[in-house]
């Protein structure tokens, strides 16, 4: 594979090419057009998919929590765990491949409320709200999203085309 892929994603093969799994609290970026970036079981977590068509660079972040100040030590160890440290990390990794912010297309998946019926913690909503605040403050527009609700989702991006497919309840849809 050309370019670099972070060390935590496991690669397997399928009909689309090598699948690099973006684990919880992980970020992956590659310029290999044969790679499929994938993350699974997005409940309250958010999956952010970034793609630069000009350079054929794809990135994906799977973050769990909105703000790193809740656990600064953990944020240093795993910056992709939090929106406020993971989102800048995703873009820094994209920039390392020569991407320009104006060329990056962003799609967002997750932010649901699966296990907290009373909305006590409302992590999904808070995850989504901080993402919107960070993007607004930095001039980043979200092209498409599949967020909220009570369904778990999985998402994959074919780096060669930038296509993003969301799977939920046994059904797939292109985002």
* Tokens describing residue 158: 């074919």
| C-alpha torsion 63→162→153→15, nearest 10 | -120
The answer to whether residue 4 is domain-embedded is no
CA dist 20 and 49 (Å) reads 13
The answer to whether residue 3 is domain-embedded is no
- Tell me, what's the pLDDT at 121? 72
Q: Is position 45 annotated as part of the catalytic site? A: yes
Question: Domain total for the chain?
Answer: 1
Helices (H), the chain: 72-77, 83-96, 123-137
The answer to whether residue 43 is domain-embedded is yes
pTM: 0.89
Among residues 165, 51, 171, 155, the alpha carbon closest in space to that of 110 is found at: 155
Q: What CATH number is attached to the domain comprising 156?
A: 3.30.1330.200
The answer to whether residue 1 is domain-embedded is no
Asked whether residue 154 carries a pLDDT value surpassing 60, the answer given is: yes
Q: Could you read off the pLDDT of 102-150 as tens digits, one per residue?
A: 999 999 999 998 765 555 578 999 999 999 999 999 999 999 999 999 9
Whether the Cβ atoms of residue 22 and residue 10 lie closer than 8 Å to each other: no
Catalytic residue among 45, 49, 83, 155: 45
The parent domain of residue 59 ranges over 11-174
């Amino acid at each position: 594979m050309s370019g670099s892929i972070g060390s935590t994603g496991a690669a397997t093969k399928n009909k689309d090419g090598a699948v690099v799994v973006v684990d919880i609290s992980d970020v992956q970026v590659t310029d290999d057009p044969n790679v499929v970036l994938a993350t699974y079981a997005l409940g309250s977590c958010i999956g952010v998919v970034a793609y630069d068509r000009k350079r054929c660079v794809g990135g994906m972040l799977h973050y769990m929590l909105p703000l790193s100040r809740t656990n600064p030590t953990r944020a240093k160890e795993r910056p992709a765990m939090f929106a406020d440290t993971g989102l800048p990390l995703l873009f820094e990794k994209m920039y390392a491949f020569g991407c320009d912010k104006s060329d990056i297309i962003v799609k967002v998946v997750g932010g649901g409320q699966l296990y907290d019926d009373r909305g006590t913690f409302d992590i999904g909503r808070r995850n989504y709200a901080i993402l919107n605040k960070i993007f607004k403050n930095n001039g980043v527009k979200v092209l498409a999203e599949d967020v909220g609700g009570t369904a778990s989702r999985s998402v994959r991006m074919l780096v060669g085309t930038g296509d993003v497919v969301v799977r939920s309840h046994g059904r797939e849809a292109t985002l």
